[in-house]
Amino acid sequence: MAISRAAHPDTMEVVKAILKEIGRKAQFIDLMTHSYRVKLGHSKDPAASIAKIQAEIDAAGWPEIKVKLMGSKYAPFGQAIGFSVPFID
């Protein structure tokens, strides 16, 4: 059974709210099996960027959302910094 992007509108609203609260735009959002994966981009210093974005998300009231490197390190552009938002039932 295919999952429709429209099947989880409440979760997409959470994604939009998080991005608005931290003042960032997603470079890419895709649908995973149990969540939306939000990629914010690349950084020359991923550890510092992850810590900074995590602090912004925590301050915005979403401490359960964890920022991390996403994707394959073997991809042409490498891993991106991002987060996942689990679907709301």
Contact 30, 36 (CB under 8 A): yes
- What CA dihedral angle connects 53, 11, 34 and 60, to 10 degrees? 20
User: What is the pLDDT of the chain when averaged over all its residues?
Assistant: 88
Give the DSSP per-residue string, 12-73.
Answer: HHHHHHHHHHHT---SEEEE-SSEEEEEEE--SSHHHHHHHHHHHHHHTT-TTS-EEEES-T
Task: Write out pLDDT tens, residues 14-50.
Answer: 999 999 999 999 999 998 888 999 999 999 999 999 9
Give the right CATH number for 7-86 from 3.40.190, 3.30.1360, 3.30.450, 1.20.120: 3.30.1360
Taking the model in full, what pTM does it have? 0.84
* Extents of the domains making up the chain: 7-86
